Each structure stands twice: as structure tokens, then as C-alpha cells.
């Protein structure tokens, strides 16, 4: 009886603390010039493997259902799907012309890609397994970053070299408007109510703010953050968003309910894409010129560590992330 109890107790402990305990989800860092993805163990902060992708991958994207991390391989005209928990390649889709940036609609009926070199935005229907091209839309020069509204009805796309913000209706796949922006517009962030759009000006010194209430974006102010404002990531509290200032080597924390910069954090060596951990305490940022992933503590505003990765690290994603708004 005593022996049985000991075995039972040991088994219960194993189930509680070992058998059912799930390892932390890996952190994925896209190395654009190496054509691969670094897989980082967030417990040890060591690179555990490299996943080969196609040529010149530029962005990573975690699907809304969080079943796949997708790598956009611009020069290979392909998408690599990776399991965000196991870090194993799920599949590769070919025939996707020049995918630079990408985004699924929240309802996952549409995938939109920006063809950076070819000056068009492609809209694909998604049936859960395969893509079919619905419409190829000619745009301005050098389509850069994309955002889709919460209702899966509207796409906003920045034109890096013609300084424009383009609005596309998803249902009809038609271009609704194009409005001028500040220099070299890059990433886009839209507030949870779909009423305000923030746009990083990589060729400027801040974030341009647009009012979306009338349907056509209307520029209402410029929010100074730092030179080379580029990529956004929400803190997950439905109030704050971060923007990386790639030239200034800083990260600005913006309160988007008041449109004020409330904190400035370090962003070493050309900060680019970012991720925020699920507890909202830590920023993971690609330090593009240093070939490192920088880990930053938000409370102390200090760099905790830098993890060596590949050449020109760009995208950063993990399954264990803060909310996207």
C-alpha cells in the first residue's frame, strides 16, 4: 500500500510539474541576408537551430489562428509556413509573386501581400489550405507595409518611394483612395476602434497620424518620436504601442488614446521589427546592423542581453506574445 502511494505521488508530481508542463514557445528571428530563421530558446537565450527559407526573406507573420508563422521569401516568390510551437517547417507555397510584406484578414478569408519591387498589392482568397489570386492591384512606387481593419473589410498599404497611403476595399478588391504622406512611409498601426491610423516615417522624425472616420484617411498631426520611425508593436494593454526609430536607435512608447510619447527606450544598432512578451514586461527587437536580437526590460528601460543571430535580422515573432492591440 505504501509502495503504491509513493508511485502514485511520484506520478502525480510528474504530471503536474513535468509531463504536462509545456516548454516556452521559441522565438523566431528572420535573417534577411542569410535566407533563414534563427530559433531562440527564451529560457536560455541561445540559438538552437536555423531554418532555411527562400531567397531574401523580409517579413515574418503569425497567422490570426496562431497555427503558423509565415516567412515571405521575396526573391523566391514563395511563402514558408513554420509551426510556431515545434519550429518545424509545415509547407512551402510557391507562385506568390514578390512577397515583401503580408497580412491575413482577421477572419482569415484573405491574404494580402505587398510586391515591393513590382509596385502592386496582391489579394488572395484562402480556403484554409490553399491560396487563389483574386486581384492584382497596381499601386504607387514600392509597396511596403500593410494593415487590415478588425472587420476584414479594408486594407491600408504604404508606398515607400511615392510617399502615399493607399486604401483598398477587400470585398470588391478595388482601390478606394490614395493620400500623400510624409517621407518614406513604412509600418502601419490602426487603433482597436478602426478610427485612427499611425504611420511610421522612415525618412522623417516621427509618426504621422491619420483620422479614418470619414472613410478616406486624413492626416491630422505629426508625432515626433525619433529619426527613422519604422515598425510598430502593441504593448497589449489596448492603450500603448511601440515604434522603433531605426536611425535614432531608440524605441518610443506612444499612448494612442492621447497621442503622446510617454517613454523612450534604448533600441541598439538599427532597431527594426519587435515583439512583446506575454507578460508585457519585455521587448524583443531585431538590432539589424549588429546581427543580434536585443532583449529590453520595459520597466527599467535597459537592455538585458543581446543574442547573436544572422545577417540583417528583420522580423521577430513568438507564440507567447502580448495582445496585438
Residue 14: band (very low, low, confident or very high) from pLDDT cuts 50, 70, 90 = very low
Q: Is 323 among the domain residues?
A: no
Q: Is 10 among the domain residues?
A: no
Looking at residue 149, what is its pLDDT? 98
50 grid coordinates: 536555423
Q: Is 253 among the domain residues?
A: yes
Asked if pLDDT for residue 256 goes beyond 90, the answer is yes
| Domain count within the chain | 1
Residue 161: DSSP 8-state: T
Per the model's pLDDT, the better-predicted residue between 10 and 131 turns out to be 131
Query: Which residues pair with residue 170 across a beta bridge?
Result: none
Average of per-residue pLDDT across 202-221:
97
**What tens digit of pLDDT does each residue of 36-82 get?**
999 999 999 999 999 999 999 999 999 999 999 999 999 999 999 99
Q: Is 14 among the domain residues?
A: no
Percent of the chain with pLDDT over 90: 92
Looking at residue 23, what is its pLDDT? 80
- Give the chain's mean pLDDT: 93
Asked if pLDDT for residue 9 goes beyond 70, the answer is no
Residue 22: band (very low, low, confident or very high) from pLDDT cuts 50, 70, 90 = low
Average of per-residue pLDDT across 248-271:
98
Question: 7-16, 25-34, 171-180, 278-287: which has the minimum mean pLDDT?
Answer: 7-16
Dihedral sign for Cα atoms in the order 135, 139, 145, 146: negative
C-alpha pair distances (Å), 300 with each of 6, 266, 277: 46, 11, 15
Strands, sheet with 240-245, edge to edge from the N-terminal-most edge strand: 229-234, 240-245, 250-255, 260-266
For residues 246 and 228, is the Cβ–Cβ distance under 8 A? Answer: yes
Distance of alpha carbon 121 from alpha carbon 111, whole angstroms: 11
Distance of alpha carbon 169 from alpha carbon 177, whole angstroms: 10
For residues 229 and 251, is the Cβ–Cβ distance under 8 A? Answer: no
Looking at residue 2, what is its pLDDT? 37
Residue tagged 507562385 (cell numbers):
95
Main-chain phi, psi angles of 42, to 5 degrees: -75, -10
Residues counted in the chain? 325
For residues 35 and 61, is the Cβ–Cβ distance under 8 A? Answer: no
Per the model's pLDDT, the better-predicted residue between 166 and 10 turns out to be 166
11 grid coordinates: 506520478
Distance of alpha carbon 281 from alpha carbon 272, whole angstroms: 19
Q: Is 325 among the domain residues?
A: no
CATH number of 280's domain: 2.130.10.10
**What tens digit of pLDDT does each residue of 72-129 get?**
999 999 999 999 999 999 999 999 999 999 999 999 999 999 999 999 999 999 999 9
Asked if pLDDT for residue 324 goes beyond 70, the answer is yes
**What tens digit of pLDDT does each residue of 113-162 get?**
999 999 999 999 999 999 999 999 999 999 999 999 999 999 999 999 99
Asked if pLDDT for residue 15 goes beyond 80, the answer is no
Provide the domain limits for residue 245. 25-318
Q: Is 235 among the domain residues?
A: yes
Q: What's the Rg (C-alpha) of the chain? A: 20
Q: Is 203 among the domain residues?
A: yes
Q: Is 310 among the domain residues?
A: yes
Residue tagged 549588429 (cell numbers):
290
Asked if pLDDT for residue 251 goes beyond 50, the answer is yes
Please report, in angstroms and rounded to a whole number, the separation of the first and last CA atoms in the chain: 55
Dihedral sign for Cα atoms in the order 278, 280, 281, 284: positive
Main-chain phi, psi angles of 10, to 5 degrees: -65, -40
Amino acid at each position: 500500500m505504501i509502495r503504491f502511494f509513493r508511485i502514485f505521488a511520484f506520478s502525480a508530481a510528474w504530471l503536474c510539474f513535468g509531463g504536462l508542463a509545456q516548454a516556452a514557445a521559441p522565438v523566431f528571428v528572420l535573417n534577411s541576408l542569410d535566407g533563414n530563421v534563427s530559433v531562440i530558446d527564451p529560457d536560455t537565450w541561445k540559438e538552437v537551430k536555423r531554418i532555411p527559407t527562400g531567397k531574401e526573406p523580409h517579413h515574418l507573420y503569425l497567422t490570426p489562428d496562431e497555427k503558423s508563422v509565415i516567412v515571405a521569401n521575396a526573391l523566391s516568390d514563395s511563402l514558408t509556413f513554420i509551426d510556431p510551437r515545434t519550429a518545424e517547417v509545415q509547407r512551402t507555397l510557391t507562385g506568390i509573386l514578390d512577397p515583401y510584406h503580408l497580412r491575413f484578414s482577421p477572419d482569415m478569408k484573405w491574404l494580402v501581400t505587398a510586391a515591393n519591387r513590382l509596385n502592386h498589392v496582391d489579394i488572395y482568397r484562402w480556403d484554409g489550405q490553399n491560396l487563389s489570386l483574386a486581384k492584382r492591384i497596381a499601386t504607387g512606387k514600392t509597396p511596403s507595409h500593410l494593415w487590415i481593419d478588425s472587420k476584414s473589410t479594408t486594407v491600408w498599404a504604404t508606398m515607400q518611394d511615392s510617399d502615399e497611403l493607399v486604401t483598398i476595399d477587400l470585398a470588391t478588391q478595388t482601390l478606394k483612395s490614395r493620400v500623400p504622406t510624409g517621407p518614406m512611409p513604412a509600418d502601419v498601426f490602426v487603433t482597436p476602434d478602426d478610427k485612427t491610423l499611425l504611420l511610421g516615417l522612415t525618412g522623417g522624425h516621427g509618426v504621422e497620424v491619420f483620422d479614418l472616420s470619414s472613410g478616406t484617411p486624413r492626416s491630422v498631426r505629426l508625432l515626433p518620436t525619433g529619426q527613422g520611425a519604422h515598425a510598430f508593436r502593441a504593448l497589449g494593454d489596448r492603450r500603448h504601442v511601440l515604434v522603433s526609430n531605426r536611425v535614432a536607435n531608440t524605441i518610443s512608447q506612444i499612448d494612442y488614446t492621447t497621442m503622446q510619447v510617454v517613454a523612450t527606450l534604448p533600441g541598439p544598432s538599427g532597431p527594426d521589427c519587435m515583439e512583446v512578451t506575454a507578460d508585457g514586461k519585455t521587448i524583443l527587437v531585431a538590432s539589424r546592423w549588429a546581427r543580434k536580437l536585443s532583449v529590453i526590460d520595459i520597466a527599467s528601460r535597459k537592455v538585458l542581453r543581446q543574442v547573436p543571430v544572422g545577417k540583417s535580422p528583420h522580423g521577430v515573432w513568438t507564440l507567447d506574445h502580448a495582445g496585438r492591440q
